[in-house]
A = this chain, B = another copy of it.
């Protein structure tokens, strides 16, 4: 049923815009429905609650993100693909706004995505540590790099750059700054 799939996709896109512009807390299903020309009952048919819609938006984002990190990649390729992902992110400011605002809202333990973001950052730190350990095993990590710190830092840097970039896209070159930082950690060209 392509028409129905299409409607689901349209609702997801409208939700990304609304959650990214004013936040999950301040978004309403009625407004999201109106935004994509779907009736309120029509939206509820696809997503029974705002929480269900948020879950679907985050799952959609995760699926997109995973495409950038094939399982078989080397440690250096994880870093290279992270740079490529951030190069791509510059072309989708709406998704970055969604991510920054949802993560910020979700620091509140009462937010429905709180557990999701706790698990997400624990996984990001673990995956980044694993990549850096692999690079060290291959002899390509600079001496003196603390893998634990570096993993937390890389993920903090990506997040912090997004805030500054959303506020001043012409002044903050996210991919270049990230690339230079990652390059400073490893001995081989990224």
Given contact pairs A153-B157, A157-B156, A160-B156, A168 touches B107 in the complex (Cβ within 8 A): no
Among B104, B121, B153, B177, contact of A101 (Cβ-Cβ < 8 Å): B104
For A181, the closest partner residue in chain B by CB is B153
Q: Give chain A interface residues in 134-190, CB to chain B under 8 Å.
A: 146, 149, 152-153, 155-161, 163-164, 166-168, 171-172, 176-177, 180-181
Interface residues of A in 82-141 (CB under 8 A from B): 97, 100-101, 103-108, 110, 114, 117-118, 121-122, 125
Interface residue total, chain A, C-beta cutoff 8 A: 43
Bound form: Cα–Cα A177–B166 in Å: 25
C-alpha spacing A97/B103, complex, angstroms = 11
**When each residue 20-49 of chain A gets 1 if its CB lies under 8 Å from chain B and 0 otherwise, what string results?**
011101100000000000000000000000
Chain B residues contacting A155 (CB-CB under 8 Å) are 160, 164
Q: Measured between alpha carbons, how far is A181 from B157 in the docked complex, in Å?
A: 12
Q: How many copies does the complex hold?
A: 2
| Cβ contact within 8 Å between B97 and A163 | no
23 contacting pairs across A/B (C-beta < 8 A): A21-B110, A22-B105, A23-B25, A23-B26, A23-B104, A23-B105, A97-B107, A101-B105, A101-B107, A118-B167, A118-B168, A121-B168, A125-B171, A149-B176, A153-B157, A153-B181, A155-B160, A156-B157, A156-B164, A156-B177, A158-B160, A159-B163, A160-B160
